[in-house]
A and B are shown apart, each in its own frame.
Chain A
């Protein structure tokens, strides 16, 4: 049984059609990317899937069997908590103390020495790593990512993509992005939002971070760019 199924799902904002006839079926530990230009309603879709408060009217069916963790565009770290407390946020909100897992997650992103620092003392890339550790901390089957690396510099982005790739084993992911290369690196299947609906999925070829970009990948990249610009 798929973790997440969207069947003929349409999103309306008042009477305006935002996204039309979306069909997605996401299986366990499958990674998909939804690629779209800014302002096309990608983030809205993620909010709807997460079940967050949203202003949209839905048509069609959406069923999500999985527990979800969410990683946003901005790091969204709480400035009054230390780094380790931020990582532990999901436990903290349930009234629990810092779990040993929080330390492990922080170690995995390589920020153990910063555990007791306040987040505003970290660089943009480090903050996103803390956000990543916070996401890992939640033992969910599905991770929803909303352009998680768009606000960091190129090198940090690549590092973060490596980390993400590592933690994604055994978990399903939906990645929202406007960067075809990021989609190619992290996802198995790539949907492009075109004319308010999804194209049939492009199958990714799993390029690694340092891998050479082969002609076939390059062709796929071109295809994605073409699909995006339509």
Chain B
């Protein structure tokens, strides 16, 4: 991360802020339609305790949704690869589950699991379950045949092959699964909060919107964006450290 890198990104940020402010001035947009960067900045400072309180809730929903969804996806992918019978039952079910728009069942989830954290975590987990399963299953299926042949010729059992060859071999694919998961989890959590919640950034945005506190809506939005970016870059950094051969394989 060089000085140039930071400088470039700072300039892009400043450019975007300028564009934002410029649009408001140019089109004479009233403050109850679009908040100015300055108003949003002040909200972020003055309402920091309020924003932090709701951020914590959303953060927990995102992280738990991520963990639950990812583990379920990974487990499903392993089951699919290990058992042909299970795969023949599970695969159509998964395609079917994908045909249900998650957004449409959000009200049902809130009805069944309440206004609390659970419905949002389930929402986030459902949101990322299928893409994660697909990525992991794909990775596990595409272990180079030569690695499997070598292991079989050494009389390794199917479980040993799974743990010591297939899973590590699929790590690059699993890490794309993680990347997908971490970018989907916030969407799930926010949708859940919009449909029915008593706390969280999504809830705060709806409330503020209804009261025409557009600057607060923007402030919550900026926090959400920063969270998503932060998650993405942290996982990306970690995965590059953990799977260093990722870009080395041809």
Binding site for B on A (CB under 8 A): 47, 50, 52-53, 68-70, 72-74, 76, 78-80, 89-90, 92-93, 118, 120, 138
CB distance from B139 to the nearest CB of A (A): 13
B20 to chain A, nearest CB (A): 45
In this complex, the interface size class of chain B, counting residues with CB under 8 Å from chain A, is 20 to 34
| A76 pairs with B144, CB closer than 8 A | yes
Binds A, one of B52-60, B148-156, B173-181, B216-224: B148-156
Given A78-B168, A80-B171, A93-B160, A70 and B248 contact (CB-CB distance below 8 Å): no
Please name all residues of chain B whose beta carbon is closer than 8 Å to the beta carbon of A73 when the two chains form the complex.
146
Task: Report A-chain residues with C-beta under 8 Å of the C-beta of B168.
Answer: 78, 80
Chain B 211-250 near chain A by CB (<8 Å), digits 1 or 0: 0000000000000000000000000000000011100110
**Any A CB within 8 A of the CB of B136:** no
Q: How far is the CA of A52 from the CA of B160 in the complex (A)?
A: 16
A138 contacts B154, CB within 8 Å?
Answer: yes
- A3 → B minimal CB distance (Å): 16
Q: Is the interface of B mostly helix, strand, loop or mixed?
A: helix
* A120–B152 touching, CB < 8 Å: no
Whether B146 and A74, one on each chain, are in contact in the complex, defined by CB atoms closer than 8 angstroms, is: yes
- CB <8 Å contact, B150 and A89: yes
Chain B residues with CB under 8 Å of A79's CB are: 245, 248-249
Say yes or no for B165: interface residue by CB 8 A criterion: yes
Given contacts A80-B168, A93-B160, A118-B244, 14 further A-B contacts (CB under 8 A): A50-B152, A53-B152, A72-B150, A73-B146, A74-B146, A76-B144, A76-B146, A76-B147, A76-B149, A78-B165, A79-B248, A80-B245, A93-B156, A120-B249
- Whether the Cβ atoms of B245 and A118 lie closer than 8 Å is yes
| Nearest CB in chain B to that of A71: its residue | B150
Q: B165 — which chain A residues lie within 8 A by C-beta?
A: 78
B169 interface contact, C-beta 8 A = yes
- Among residues of A, the one whose C-beta sits closest to the C-beta of B151 is A93
Does A69 contact B149, Cβ atoms closer than 8 Å? Answer: no
* A120 CB contacts on chain B under 8 angstroms: 245, 248-249
Residues of A within 8 A of B169 (CB): 78
A157 to chain B, nearest CB (A): 19
Partner of A92, one of B146, B164, B243: B164
8 closest pairs, A vs B, by CB?
A: A79-B245, A70-B153, A76-B146, A120-B248, A93-B156, A90-B154, A80-B168, A72-B146
Cα A93 to Cα B163 with chains together (Å): 10
By a CB distance below 8 angstroms, the chain A residues around B243 are 80
7 A-B residue pairings within 8 Å (CB atoms): A52-B152, A53-B152, A76-B149, A80-B168, A89-B154, A93-B156, A93-B160
Please give me the residue from chain A that is nearest to B165 by CB atom.
A78
How many angstroms between the C-alpha atoms of A68 and B152 in the bound complex?
A: 11
In the complex, are the beta carbons of A52 and B153 less than 8 A apart? yes
Residues of chain A within 8 A of B152, CB atoms compared: 50, 52-53
Docked pose: A27 CA to B191 CA in angstroms: 71
Chain B nearest CB: distance from A78 CB in Å? Answer: 6
A68 to B150, CA, bound (A): 11
In the assembled complex, the Cα of A118 lies from the Cα of B153 at a distance in Å of 23
